[in-house]
Structure 1
Amino acid sequence: MVKRDDPETIGRRVQRLRRERGLTQRQLAEPAYTPAYVSTLEAGRVRPSDEALQHLAARLGVGFEELATGRPAHLATDLRLRLTEAQRTQACGNADEAAAQYERLLAEAERFDLTDVQAAALLGLGECALDVGELTRGREYFERCEHVLAEAPLPARVPALRGRAVSHYLAGEIRYAVYLLESTLDELNRNGMHDPDALLLLYASVIGPYMDLGAHARAAQAAEFALALAPQAGDPALVARMHRSAARTLLAEGRLAEADASLAKAAELYRQLQLRTELANCHWMRGYVCAQRGELGRAEEELRAAQAMLRERRASLYSSQVVVELADVLHRRGKSGQAAELLHQVLGELSSERGAVHAAAAHRLLGIIAEDADDTEAAEEHYVRALSLLERAGAAGDLADLCRLLGDLLRRTGRVEAALDAYRTGLGHRTAPGTTTLGPAPAQPPWASTQF
């Protein structure tokens, strides 16, 4: 239903259009209405019916919507076509050009109060900002999108909520990201709002944060729910994202062949959709699978392909994360000098506020490389920096491993008490996955008890 302007605004519009066309009130009114009715309408003292507006629009030579809202004929359709073009531009890898298209769309949508187009443009701007690593700016766009959709049902707000959670996750605020995603899942499931696209998007998005927190049980359950939802989802991009996220859980369980198959499905969908960033992420994950199998040459090829695609999109933050994985493979291939050079370059692009977990991974690997070179002072410095970043992010599983590395180093250099302290700290982080590291698990979807 078209949201009309108030009677006074419509009345002034009718009067202006009538005068522009040189019509009298009688000529405009006949044969269905009286001049007195037109006079009352133009004065804003009556709310015209749809039938009256249809009659007046036909006499004035304009569309019903233009007379009722002031929007040019076919404006909404034109903006939605342009929105699709902006989304295609973004999918093809040009975040800057897509952002400019979204900005122009947003200005027009705000001018004519087209809420759905405003929300879609803000969502696109947020995604473009994340692509290039502008996390704060991206979060602001997502928050604005949520504000525009404040009166909309929760499923309509899920993409913006998810975007805000991802911006916090990439900034290293993993627990808060999990809180946002879990609380939204809770509200959907407890209130019976079974929207497959919304639920699939949330379950796929929470797998990564769960894994970083060491909550493997919850990650596995989220992946199972996402896989169950996939056949019901209408958006192939969501299905592809689900396959990529589920692969991470399969990797943690050692199911490498299944993970590789899931990533292959995701990659094919993304090729069809031309979603270059997501396709690059598939190469990234496939590189990780190959590294776990010991296929280091192929792993390097996949990771370099991901890095090149992300650089092409100027997705600097994601590119930096891939570089850390690539450096690990290079180190394992005996190319520690190349690995260290890459890590020092990437640390200039990461920080505690922007990619904290991967910055910590870079310092951790530099520490290992320094240890291999018998530079224990540099190794300890890198481990301590990594520890600080992981404590801020709350990445429990990684913290435990890092404390072990630091403890072993301290023990080898004769500092037994300091080593024991490091080991104790690490043990404190080896909690049962998905229990003490987080609050209660989110409510299960109503259909889960019959399927699992």
Structure 2
Amino acid sequence: MADMVERDEPEVIGRRVQRLRRERGLTQRQLAEPSYTSAYISTLEAGRVRPSDDALRHLAERLGVDFEELATGRPARLATALRLRLTEARRTLATGRAQEAAGQYAELLDEAERHGLTEERAAALLGLGECAVETGELRAARERFEEAERLLAGAPLPARVPALRGRAVTHYLAGELRYAVYLLETAIDELNRSGLHDPDALLLLYAGIIGPYMDMGAHARAAQAAEFALALAPQAGDPALVARMHRSVARTLLAEGRIAEADASLAKAAELYRTLQLRTELANCHWMRGYVCAQNGELERAESELRQALTMLAERRAALYSSQVTVELADVLHRRGRSEEASRLLREVLGELSSERGAVHAAAAHRLLGIIAEDAGDTEAAEEHYVRALSLLERAGAAGDLADLCRLLGDLLRRTGRVEAALDAYRTGLGHRTAPGTTTLGPAPAQPLL
């Protein structure tokens, strides 16, 4: 609407009116008639009066320009054109061309900045952040998401949720699980308790928090978040969010031993992503299906699904996600008796992971290398890998994985005659296993108004 346009200062509008009037060969009287006087036009052009919306509409019609162009200096329908191009950039990203999409978003950001279009600038920054997550550049992604949040600081929370969720994802992928959960839970509480009920925003937050909850061992909270996400799904307008939710929910079903339901949830997600041509998300569905199959003992199918995920992620150059899938594949290969191949993959992938970038999966790689070394009788190497994994998991706060790792380390220490050290490791593990998540999490978020 015209009266919602953020206008320039009176003197800027005055100079613009004068320039356009002279370009069209009109006198001040000709521009003013029949509704205004030449004296009013003279005062307006001098910047001594702030024109009303009605006056601007009259002048825009007489000068043959759009209201917004006269009020702001931006070409007519520029914002609409930029939004259309933003949609094209999203499609480019969704179909696996992250670098190409980043180029499109960068051009759009430059244009939006030039013309002072705040919402479009924020959308371009959000897109650049998502591209950076795809290629594993977590620091760059976080900076983009933070900048988008700053631009939208005065907007309602639902408008800020995509950027906030993106920032939380970068912390999660970097292994900062507690902080990721804090960001997401705080936003969920604010939305639910303030009455800002927005199904898409809530679904994005609940689906996003399932992964961190699972990695922290807070399975009950993950299951509750999944339940809320499923209840919100019918109200959500974005099928991509529904597909993402189905993929996340599968993790909690798996934790509860509901293998068939987990597989069914992933199949629904895969079909939606196939329709939407979201290649990375579809690859993630194959990843999770491979994980489900591995947990169910279907190792041949698990290997097939994980290799398909890797192929699709390689097409998109999604380096960080590829590294995470490779760890899962190595576990399957080890269980199929191909430990040498698994070790080679893990050593390659550790070059892509660190405490700052994929800490949980770096720990998983060291844990598996430790198991392989222990099977081969190299207890010294096994202990070294377990200790490295322990350090990474302690930093990330992955309680459930920590408990399992402490058991492995304790068993190794006991077998090598270091009983006191083994007892210390077991006690540490029991501390994490006693009540998953309760030592690192506060009260659960408020429930949504379903």
**What band does the TM-score fall into relative to the shorter chain?**
over 0.9
User: Quick check: 2:118–2:151 contact (8 Å CA) kept in 1?
Assistant: yes
- Within the candidate set 310, 313, 321, 2:313 is matched to 310
Aligned pairs for 1:300-379 (under 5 A) are 300-379=303-382
Secondary structure (helix, strand or coil) at the match of 1:268 reads helix
User: Quick check: 2:310–2:325 contact (8 Å CA) kept in 1?
Assistant: yes
What 5-or-longer segments of structure 2 have no aligned partner? none
Q: Are 2:365 and 1:390 aligned? A: no
User: Quick check: 2:215–2:399 contact (8 Å CA) kept in 1?
Assistant: yes
How far apart, CA to CA, are the structure 1 residues paired with 2:100 and 2:420? 57
Residues 378-431 of structure 1, C-alpha deviation per residue, up to 9 Å, x if partnerless? 111100100000011011100110011011111111111111111111111113
Displacement of 1:269 after TM fit?
0.6
Residues 249-290 of structure 1, C-alpha deviation per residue, up to 9 Å, x if partnerless? 000000010000100000011111111111000000000111
Displacement of 1:72 after TM fit?
0.5
Name segments (4+ residues, structure 1) moved above 3 Å: none
How far apart, CA to CA, are the structure 2 residues paired with 1:66 and 1:404? 68
Q: Which residue of 2 is the match for residue 210 of structure 1?
A: 213
User: Quick check: 1:434–1:441 contact (8 Å CA) kept in 2?
Assistant: no
TM-score of the superposed pair, with normalisation by structure 2: 0.98
Q: Which residue of 2 is the match for residue 450 of structure 1?
A: none
Amino-acid identity (%): 84
Q: Which residue of 2 is the match for residue 78 of structure 1?
A: 81
Q: Which residue of 1 is the match for residue 422 of structure 2?
A: 419
Q: Are 2:251 and 1:240 aligned? A: no
Aligned pairs for 1:156-167 (under 5 A) are 156-167=159-170
Q: Which residue of 2 is the match for residue 115 of structure 1?
A: 118
Residues 227-266 of structure 1, C-alpha deviation per residue, up to 9 Å, x if partnerless? 0000000000000000000000000000010000100000
How far apart, CA to CA, are the structure 2 residues paired with 1:87 and 1:409? 50
Residues 111-132 of structure 1, C-alpha deviation per residue, up to 9 Å, x if partnerless? 1111111111111111111111
User: Quick check: 1:360–1:390 contact (8 Å CA) kept in 2?
Assistant: yes
Q: Which residue of 1 is the match for residue 267 of structure 2?
A: 264
TM-score of the superposed pair, with normalisation by structure 1: 0.98
Residues 112-169 of structure 1, C-alpha deviation per residue, up to 9 Å, x if partnerless? 1111111111111111111111111100101011111011001110111100001000
Q: 1:423 to 1:434 in 2, by over 3 A?
A: closer
Q: Which residue of 1 is the match for residue 230 of structure 2?
A: 227
Secondary structure (helix, strand or coil) at the match of 1:104 reads helix
Amino acid in structure 2 at the alignment position of 1:174:
L
User: Quick check: 1:215–1:437 contact (8 Å CA) kept in 2?
Assistant: no
Secondary structure (helix, strand or coil) at the match of 1:439 reads coil
How far apart, CA to CA, are the structure 2 residues paired with 1:127 and 1:230? 23
Displacement of 1:22 after TM fit?
2.1
Instruction: Please report the RMSD computed on the Cα atoms of aligned residues, expressed in angstroms.
Output: 0.9
Displacement of 1:360 after TM fit?
0.2
Amino acid in structure 1 at the alignment position of 2:334:
H
How far apart, CA to CA, are the structure 1 residues paired with 2:334 and 2:282? 25
Amino acid in structure 1 at the alignment position of 2:433:
R
Residues 49-81 of structure 1, C-alpha deviation per residue, up to 9 Å, x if partnerless? 222212211221211111011010121111111
